[in-house]
Amino acid sequence: MRTSLHELDMIEQALLMKKPEYQMLLEAKQQLDPSTAEHINWQKITYQAIVQFGHIQLKQDIQLVDQQLFSHKKHKSFRAYIRSLFNS
Amino acid sequence: MSTIRQEAIKSLYLEAFPDVARYIGKKGGSENDAREIFQEAIVVYHESVLFGHKSIQTTPSAYLFGICRNLWHNHFNASIKTSSIEGIDLQEEQPHESTEKIASYLQMAGEKCMNLLQSFYYEKLSMSQLAKRFGFASERSATVQKYKCLEKVRDEVKSKSLTYEDFIA
């Protein structure tokens, strides 16, 4: 792996996996290179963005299935049955 | 991946939704109420059971029914609270406007990368599952690709100057 990927790995092992040896390494790196703190911050934001993206994708999949079941011809009987539950 | 998940969601609907709809209907709710609540319940089921590895002592249908009953109860109590406060203009909470923005920014980092990253960080797949799903020869190759994608997305996030608050919906 190239150097920039090694740094991503080090931050991940320290932040997400919470491995003490990487946490110590990262702390030492921050002492030597002050820009490390900024890299850590961007990586945290990126994790948050990915999780948010996954959440949105899941909701879109659910909405798509819901729309299919409540609009496609082939699910007519399912729809009719559900509607009957609200008309009785 | 998405199609497989959609098929699984459809099965959940066909199996569990009728009981939920009957329950919500009996409690005076509408078909739309039932659909909204069921959608929320499916998100909870995925995030806590499938991705969060929470073990359940019941069937997925029964678990979903339990979540829907709780969600309906909360929804019903919230409606009573809202209608009892007179003279105050209570606005419904709007969805966080940045969520759509974020999704479109991240699509720019490439669909394959985003799918790979969300499979690991959101769905919490192991490296071996990740390698299998995306056709990598080894866990090592999957790991390297994951970090390449992470770097790409981080640079995208950075270039748009997104902040932590943008992701708190």
The yes-or-no verdict on residue B144 having pLDDT over 80 is yes
Give residue B91's pLDDT: 38
Which residue did the predictor score with more confidence, A2 or A88?
A: A2
Residue pairs spanning A and B at CB distance below 8 A: 122
Closest CB from B2, B6, B154 relative to A46: B154
Report CB contact under 8 Å: B2, A57: yes
Does any CB of chain B come closer than 8 Å to the CB of residue A37? no
Please, what sign has the CA dihedral across residues B67, B68, B69, B74? positive
A71 shares contact with chain B (CB less than 8 Å): no
Q: Is A80 on the interface with B (CB under 8 A)?
A: no
- Give the Cα separation of B109 and B153 in Å (integer): 6
- Residue A76, C-beta contacts closer than 8 angstroms, at least 6 positions apart: none
- What amino acid is encoded at A24 in this protein? M
Q: Which residues contact A8 (CB under 8 A, 6 or more apart)?
A: A43, B147, B150, B151, B154
B9 interfaces chain A, CB cutoff of 8 Å? yes
Residue A49 forms contact with B (CB below 8 Å): yes
Taking phi over 0 as left and psi of -120 to 50 as alpha, with beta for the rest, B53 belongs to left
- Looking at per-residue pLDDT, the higher value among A32 and B96 belongs to A32
% of chain B residues with pLDDT over 90: 62
pTM of the full structure: 0.85
pLDDT band at A8 (very low <50, low <70, confident <90, very high): very high
Q: Do B9 and A8 touch (CB under 8 A)?
A: no
How does pLDDT run across A11-33, given as a tens digit for each residue? 999 999 999 999 999 999 999 99
| pLDDT at B81 (0 to 100) | 56
Provide the pLDDT for residue B99: 58
